[in-house]
Amino acid sequence: MSKSGKGKGQTDDGVKVVAQNRRARFDYAIEERIEAGLVLTGSEVKSLREGNVALSDAYAALRGDDLWLFNCRIGEYKAAAAGFAHAPLRERRLLLNRAEIEKLRGKVEQRGYTLVPLSLYFKNGWAKVDLGLGRGKTHEDRRDHIAERESRREMDRALSRKRR
């Protein structure tokens, strides 16, 4: 470990990204981001530190008064004894203030937003998930996004040719 206290892959602010959901930004128009803590078992934390996680099909939803993360696959930790191993696809509780949960409840239930996990990371040793509050993109929205990206690419190419 270096003198600054940073581990491998860690940034200056103590954040080490474990997994990202790149597909979420393509499928959803993200309007707001929320950071939430995760309730995990010991073997899940060890498995996360190894990077053994998949967020591609994961989503967050309200159940009662709590926010839960579903379909987030955290692989089994090989060194865990059989009695202490965790179920890879279990539902995990997310930690937010009551006021934040109620704010999200209003947007999700009344306005039709979806809570999608964008990334999973460690911040100062604590496992966090970055949730995106967004609407699903239609086929036309995706087509517009691709066309905009292509036009930006063309402009960059033209500018780089002009500089030469």
CATH code (residue 38): 2.40.280.10
**75 domain residue, yes or no:** yes
Within a domain: 149: no
Cα angle: 50, vertex 55, 61; to 5 degrees: 125
pTM for the complete prediction? 0.75
Query: How confident is residue 81, by pLDDT bands cut at 50, 70 and 90?
Result: low
Is 9 among the domain residues?
A: no
Chain mean pLDDT for the chain: 84
**What confidence tier does 2 reach under pLDDT thresholds 50, 70, 90?**
very low
Summarised one tens digit per residue, pLDDT across range 33-74 is 999 999 988 888 888 888 888 888 888 989 888 999 999 888
Residue 7 lies in a domain: no
Residue 150 within a domain: no
Q: Structural domain tally of the chain?
A: 1
- Asked if residue 121 is part of any domain, the answer here is yes
CA dihedral angle for residue 74, residue 34, residue 25, residue 17, rounded to 10 degrees: -50
Q: What phi, psi does 9 have (nearest 5°)?
A: 80, 10
Question: Do the domain assignments include residue 157?
Answer: no
Q: Could you list the residue range(s) of the whole structural domain that residue 48 is in?
A: 15-136
